Amino acid sequence: MRRIYILALILILASLLFFTFYDLLHPTEFETDKTQISDYYIEHGVKETGAINLVTAILFDYRAFDTLGEATVIFIAVSAISLLATKERVLVSNTNFSPIVYQGISFIIPFLYILAFYLIFYGHLSPGGGFTGGVVIATTFVLLKMTFGIRYSREEKSLQRRSLIESCGAIGFIIVGILGIVRGDSFLANGQAGFDLGVAGQLLSAGIIPILNLFTGIKVGSGLAIIFHRLVREE
Amino acid sequence: MELPYVVVIILFYLGIYTIIMNKNLIKIVVGVNIVESSLILLLILISFKLGGTAPILDRKYELVVDPIPQALALTAIVIGGSLIAVMLALVIKIYKRYGTLNVDEIRKLRG
C-alpha cells in the first residue's frame, strides 16, 4: 500500500518537473536572452585569460575563487573521513594475483604518471586540467594498493607525507592568489594584475592558470589517495 | 519536448524512489549517486547547441557550446564524489557499531 502512495507522489512530482522543463524550453516573449555572459566569455575569454580552453579559463580565472572552495570541499571530506575511519591494523587483500597482473601494473604505472602530468600541464590547451589529472594520480595509488597490498606503501609515514603534500597544494594555491593582491589587484587576479599572458595556444601562456592547475592536481591527487587509503581498511 | 530531458526526469525520480524505498544503506547511497548523475546530465543538456563544437578555441569556429554549465558540472562532480566518500565512511562506521545495514533495525536498536 505504502509503495503505491510513494509511486503516485513521485509521478506527480515528475509531471511537475516535466512542465518546468517545458517552460524552460519554450520561453515566452517577455523573457530576455539568458546567455549574454557566456557570449562574453566566448568573445573575450581567450584575449583576457590567454587560455584557449574556455572551461579552464572560467574555472581558474573568472571563477578561481569558486575553485578554491571546491578544493576546500575535498580537504574537508578528507578530514571527515580521517576522523571517522578506525585506526586499527590493516589486512587488506591477501589474495595473490597471477604474475601477469603484477608485471602489467608495474609496467603501466609510469605511463599513468605521464598521462596525469600531461593532463595537468596542458589543462589550458586541451581537455583536462588539475582535477582530472589529480584523479589519474590517485588511480595509480589505488592500483598499487589493490595489487601489491598495503605493505608496499609504508602505512602511517606515507600517509603523513601525503597529507603534507596536500597542504602544500592548498597553500600554494592561496599564495598564488595573494600574489595578485601584492601586485595591486584583487585576489587570484590573472591578466589584470599584470601577469604575462603569453601567446594564446602555447604551453607557457595564460599567466597563473598552469600554476593553479598544478597545485590543484597535487591537492586532488593526494586527497583522493588519502580517502581511498582510509576507506580500504578492514577490522 | 526533447527526449533527453525526459531521460533526466526518469533518472532523477528513479534515484528518489531508490532513496525512499530501500532499507539498505548502501543502496540509499547508490540512489543519491543516481540523482547526482541526472543533474550532471541536465547541466550538459542545458549547454548543448546543435552543431556546436567544444569550447576550445584553437581554430576557426562557428558555434561553440556554452562553457559555463560545463565548468559547473565539474564542480558538481568533485563535490558529489567527496559527498559519496563521506557517506560511505559513515556507513562503514554504522555497520561496525550496529552490525547491520538495515535502516529499520538500526532504528529499533537505538530505541
Q: Where are the domains of chain A?
A: 32-232
Segment 64-93 of chain A within 8 Å of chain B by CB: 66-67, 70, 73-74, 76-77, 80-81, 84-86
The verdict on B24 touching A (C-beta cutoff 8 Å) is: no
Helix (H, G, I), strand (E, B) or coil at A94: coil
Grid coordinates representing A15? Answer: 509531471
Helix (H, G, I), strand (E, B) or coil at B32: helix
Grid coordinates representing B58? Answer: 584553437
| Cβ atoms of residues A150 and A144 within 8 Å | no
Q: What is the pLDDT of residue A81?
A: 87
Search chain A and give the residue with CA nearest B62.
Answer: A42
Search chain B and give the residue with CA nearest A135.
Answer: B78
Q: What is the pLDDT of residue A235?
A: 44
Instruction: Give me the residue from A53, A63, A73 closest to B78, CB to CB.
Output: A73
Supply the DSSP string of B51-91, one letter for each residue: TPBPSB-SS--S-B--HHHHHHHHHHHHHHHHHHHHHHHHH
DSSP type of residue A192: T
Instruction: For residue A46, count other CB atoms closer than 10 A to its CB.
Output: 21
| Cβ atoms of residues B94 and A79 within 8 Å | no
pLDDT digits (tens, 9 = 90+) for B25-82: 999 999 999 999 999 998 888 888 777 787 777 777 778 888 888 888 888 888 888 8
Please state, in angstroms and rounded to a whole number, the distance separating the CA atoms of residues B52 and B50: 6
Nearest to A60 by CA among A229, A223, A162, A209: A209
Instruction: Give me the residue from A6, A7, A52 closest to B58, CB to CB.
Output: A52
- HSE (CB half, 13 Å, CA atoms) of B51? 3
What pLDDT tens digit does each residue of chain A (235 aa) get? 788 888 888 889 888 888 888 877 776 666 556 667 777 888 777 777 777 888 888 888 888 888 888 888 888 888 888 888 766 555 555 667 788 888 888 899 999 999 998 988 888 888 888 888 888 988 998 888 778 766 555 566 677 788 888 888 888 888 888 888 888 777 877 777 777 777 777 777 777 888 888 888 888 888 888 888 877 765 4
Q: What is the length of chain B? A: 111
Please state, in angstroms and rounded to a whole number, the distance separating the CA atoms of residues A18 and A190: 42
> Which residue segments constitute the domains of chain B, with CATH numbers given?
3-110 (1.10.287.3510)
Question: B62 to chain A nearest CA, in Å?
Answer: 11
Q: What is the pLDDT of residue A92?
A: 55
Residue with cell 547526482: B36
Search chain A and give the residue with CA nearest B56.
Answer: A53
pLDDT digits (tens, 9 = 90+) for B84-102: 989 988 888 888 888 888 8
| Cβ atoms of residues A231 and B29 within 8 Å | no
**Looking at the predicted complex, does its ipTM rise above 0.90?**
no
Instruction: Give me the residue from B1, B10, B56 closest to A53, CB to CB.
Output: B56
The verdict on A225 touching B (C-beta cutoff 8 Å) is: no
In angstroms, the Cα distances linking A192 to A48, A124, A208, A235 are 9, 18, 11, 54
| Cβ atoms of residues A100 and A205 within 8 Å | no
In angstroms, the Cα distances linking A55 to A124, A188, B97 are 9, 17, 44
Residue with cell 554504522: B94
Search chain B and give the residue with CA nearest A232.
Answer: B89
Chosen from B57, B65, B94, B104 to mutate, greatest number of chain A CBs within 10 A: B57
